[in-house]
Amino acid sequence: MTAAPRHSRHLPAFILLALAHGPVHGNAIRAALTLRMPGFKVDAAAIYRALHALEVAGDVVFHWDTDIPGPARKVYQLTPGGWRRLDAWEADIRMRLGFLQAFLEDLEQVRPSAHTP
């Protein structure tokens, strides 16, 4: 039994990382995430909800880009608080990676060589 991938828990971290590369609009964030992480699937609405939450928390700010043809776009960028939040995400993810690596190493030791999943 395989669970569907859940990216929502880490979506704010992924968005902050995308914005660390420079200010961009929401659809460009989605494109960057799918380019950098093949197989990553998230709908635009989830990205905009996360961006709004990051904005309320003071981690991102936006300005309106009216220099492009068509409707104005919100262009988001990190604040100093956003950089601190990104650092906190890094610490959390590194800790989780350590737990997962320990799990894999322990599993490798206890799995009988003849066992087939």
pLDDT at 2: 47
- Per-10-residue mean pLDDT of the chain, 117 residues long, equals 61 97 94 91 92 98 92 95 98 96 95 69
Q: Give rounded-to-5 percent helix, strand, coil for the chain.
A: 55, 10, 30
pLDDT at 116: 59
- On whether the CB atoms of residues 25 and 65 are closer than 8 A, the answer is yes
pLDDT at 56: 98
pLDDT at 4: 43
Structural domains in the chain, sorted by start: 11-110 (1.10.10.10)
pLDDT at 6: 55
pLDDT at 68: 85
pLDDT at 114: 61
What is residue 41's three-state secondary structure?
coil
- On whether the CB atoms of residues 73 and 65 are closer than 8 A, the answer is yes
Phi, psi values for residue 78, rounded to 5°: -70, 145
| Helix (H) or strand (E) segment spanning residue 105 | helix 80-110
Q: What's the start-to-end Cα distance of the chain, in Å?
A: 12
